[in-house]
Amino acid sequence: MAAPRGRFAPSPTGRLHLGSLVTALASYLDVKSRSGQWLVRIEDVDQARTVPGAETDILRSLESLGLYWDGPITRQSERTTLYEDALQQLAARGLAYACSCTRSDLASLPRSPDGETIYPGLCRQGARPGELPPAWRFRTDLAPTQVEFADEWQGVRRQDVAAETGDFVIKRRDGFHAYQLAVVIDDAEQDIDRVVRGCDLLDNTPRQILLQRVLGLRQPAYAHVPLVVEPDGTKLSKSRRSVAAGALGAAEALHAALTLLRQPPPDDMAGAKPAELVEWAVSHWQPQLLAGLRSIQAPAGGLGSGGVSD
């Protein structure tokens, strides 16, 4: 049997922070405990949001943490031809169409519990002419859209994509291909068979599985990591909880991340170097301890209160 392949796919919009470290570490431990390969993909398809120098900073931080990747770094910005080819394939089959709806057109439409617009296919018969380029949507009324999958840590998930999201965007009006399409093409092209990522992307997964089905692509195994939140339950403050690249700070950050993942190192590893912590964590990885957890609270002090110093 071939070694499993997992990936960490950060967006270069800022520094690595405690939440993204937890996700990266869980992904790394998951695949390395299975003697697999861990790839890094930079999700920079949206160049307008890319922060200069952020990619270098993230990669330096991963190295200082002892999280070394296998193979070359890939970048979504260099793969847009693959996404466009997939879009054109869907369009040729009548499964994708141009949409001219504006934000004001969408404002009165029903929304899902998480606030996303449920799009009913207003432009299925043709987009209105206009000055702005259209978006492109996947058509959900021409294929079975009931999706059920077993997430390894969050259990069985079910979603009727047509009813709960409607026709979803696969290419935006600004010309950037949407995450839903890009990630499906990337995972298939890189032979990723294990996707470990944050719970904030759990509800996106059925849309991606639907695209995998119609494009004839293999569905990887999914495991969604609980989100790291502030002690009061609010979204993690990324700016206050950034993880710098210094070795001393890296050891502290790793210890904090492992503790959040319910895998705290023993007391006799208090002074361990990053590489030693990672080696211990790979051999003692117990993912079942994350079963059913949707969120975990960041520490109120220490690393969480002021970030990590170089």
DSSP per-residue codes, the chain: -PPPEEEE---SSS--BHHHHHHHHHHHHHHHTTT-EEEEEE----GGGPPTTHHHHHHHHHHHTT-PPSS--EEGGG-HHHHHHHHHHHHHTTSEEEE---HHHHTTS-B-TTS-B-B--TTTT-PPP-SSPPEEEE--SSS--EEEEEETTTEEEEEEHHHHTBS-EEE-TTSPBPHHHHHHHHHHHTT--EEEEEGGGGGGHHHHHHHHHHHT-PPPEEEEEPEEE-TTSSBP-TTTTB----HHHHHHHHHHHHHHTT-PPPGGGTT--HHHHHHHHHHT--GGGGTT--EEEPPSSTHHHH----
- Of the listed 171, 235, 238, 273, which one is catalytic? 238
- Find the helix packing angle between 18-32 and 274-283, rounded to 10°: 50
Q: How far apart are the first and last CA of the chain?
A: 42
Q: How far apart are CA 187 and CA 190, in angstroms?
A: 5
- Is 238 one of the annotated active-site residues of the chain? yes
Residues with catalytic function = 238
